[in-house]
Amino acid sequence: MTRIAILDEDRCQPKKCKYTCIEYCPGVRMEEDTIVINEKNKKPLISEELCVGCGICTNRCPFKAINIINLPEVLDDPIHRYGQNKFELFGLPTINEGSVVGILGQNGIGKSTIMRILSGELIPNLGDWERDENTWDEVVDHYKSTQLQKYFKNLLKSEIKVVHKPQMVDQLSKFVKGNVGQLLRNVDEVNRFDEIVEDLQLENVLNRDIENLSGGELQRVAIGASVLRDGDFYYFDEPSSWLDVSQRLNIVKVIRSLAKKGKSVMIIEHDLATLDAISDYVHIVYGEPGAYGVVSQMKGVRVGINAYINGFLKEENVRIRKQAIEFKIHAPKTSDEGELLTSYTNIEKGYDGFTLSVEGGELYHNEIVTAFGSNGIGKTTFAKIISKVEKGDTGRVEKKLEIVYKPQYLNYDFDGRVEDFLYMKAPNYGTNIFMSEIGRPLSMEGILDKNLDELSGGELQRLAIAVTLSQDGELYVFDEPTAFLDVEQRLTVGKIIKKIVESKNATALIIDHDIVFIDYITNRAMIFYGEPGLKGMATRPTDLKTSMNKFLEDLKITFRRDKETKRPRVNKFDSYLDRQQKENQQYYYLEG
């Protein structure tokens, strides 16, 4: 095994700990010191050649800033490393012309670094981080006699055009100004403006300025602008964020249209149903988040996703997870099952130009109810009414409940560290129960010393979920808890919510768009339908299969279960299974 030391410089605070790592490291009393001080930033540098991996510095560091990682010996040829004691990436995906290649892996594992290298934004240093300047010529030579050599040669000569849709589209308005329609017309190099506007449902935003768009609208505009450019290689980083199920299926159609025209497409995506529907092949990126990432061989999309779920890569003979993720088929839950928590009457709520009507229903102890439907249809409004954040015009909840609410948008007015926030907001923070049931599964230890305003979207989401679940309640309401989370984190959140709800004999109401997550966690479901932005209606909670059948019938798509893993998969439109299930009115999958 090769050993590397990872130092989180954001967490390392040498002035406060006075170099505890040096004080306790047995190697500093040898002829060559294992740990020395970096004169540039006054933070430790750990010699990976001299470090014996005793773990003393890891255990002694008061800020948990040091991690000693063992690498397999075969990983001796990194494509890029950010510096000593920093993240390194091994390998790059295969470029496949006329196909959509998916990238699947945890956050912090190197996926966005891959996109930046392949799009030409980052010249990889081939592991030599001490070099002052890197050149593409060295990269071309490194990949001699491979497909990537030809790709990088053409990239270097500007003989191919690369289009990159970045991850953080919410920052788009800081760099791009002006009218949406004019901006899209200006970038239209393929004469598909009307087609793309219709497919991405952008008609209602064409006359608005970029700065006035929501996250979902910005996402669709960014995808539209990318597809309208005439490129050879297209890279999409998390294109489904902020989009509802219908919109996700629309982007599948739009992005796949590029491959049909012979273009090469690569996509990073955490929604497994979307990734499955959009990709021909996948690469799995595995390793240790924040430490190293390894790109697997290219696999067929079904085989690759199933390997990720099972946690074992057969061709590489590598186990990436201790246990497989299990999808269980729930028997339909009827109204006479379980103990009634509360019921609510028909609820009405009106705003200027929008009305919401929700059919009365019941909530039972020890169940999870999900609510799904289009954006702008009233799901968040219903969550706020149930949580007593807003008041409906008519209707009531029959019983007064202890309700804990996690909103969709997380704007905490707090200037301080995550740990201070947890002490204030999480009643049982610091107990063994919190750490074992919430803290460790959500990897909270890694962000405790960060300031709240420094957290990424995924880190803030995990914090909000931890605070919500730490509180005592009879009803837990979560508005889009999977936003910014990777596949692993989404299913971990599902498992934690299930466990907490069962242990407290409580109930959870969850709003989300990820079909795989919904299938994993749901006992019963509500469907929101109508005209987005104008009129929303919602059914009472019913069993998942009945709800899904109604929802998917409106979308004119069908799902099946994978024979091996039982995960939901989208049927290709007008395929044999698609036609058969529609004839039988079984939109939410037949078995097998």
The whole-number average pLDDT for the span 30-52 is: 78
334 pLDDT exceeds 60?
no
Q: Say what the pLDDT of residue 351 is.
A: 87
526 pLDDT exceeds 90?
yes
Q: What is the pLDDT of residues 269-304, one digit of tens each?
A: 999 999 999 999 999 999 888 888 999 999 999 999
**H, E, C per residue of 280-329:** CEEEEEEEECCCEEEECCCEEHHHHHHHHHHCEECCCCEECCCCCCCCCC
Any idea where the domains of the chain sit in the sequence? 2-71, 88-319, 340-554, 556-592
CATH node for 340-554:
3.40.50.300
Nearest to 358 by CA among 318, 385, 389: 385
Q: Say what the pLDDT of residue 592 is.
A: 42
Alpha-carbon distances, residue 479 vs 217, 408, 410, 482 (angstroms): 19, 5, 10, 9
The Cα–Cα gap between 228 and 230 comes to: 7
Q: How far is CA 76 from the centre of its chain?
A: 30
Same CATH topology for 2-71 and 340-554? no
41 pLDDT exceeds 50?
yes
Q: Say what the pLDDT of residue 300 is.
A: 95
421 pLDDT exceeds 90?
yes
The Cα–Cα gap between 286 and 191 comes to: 40
517 pLDDT exceeds 70?
yes
71 — pLDDT class (breaks 50, 70, 90): low
Fold of 88-319: Rossmann fold (3.40.50)
The conformation of residue 377, written as its DSSP 8-state character, comes to: S
The whole-number average pLDDT for the span 40-48 is: 80
Range of weakest confidence among 69-73, 295-299, 320-324:
69-73
Enumerate the β-bridge partners of residue 5. 68
38 — pLDDT class (breaks 50, 70, 90): confident
405 pLDDT exceeds 90?
yes
The whole-number average pLDDT for the span 310-332 is: 81
Q: What is the pLDDT of residues 245-254, one digit of tens each?
A: 889 989 999 9
The whole-number average pLDDT for the span 30-54 is: 78
The whole-number average pLDDT for the span 487-495 is: 91
Q: Say what the pLDDT of residue 330 is.
A: 60
Enumerate the β-bridge partners of residue 299. 282
> What is the residue-averaged pLDDT of the chain?
88
Q: Can you tell me whether residue 550 is helix, strand or coil?
A: helix
CATH node for 2-71:
3.30.70.20
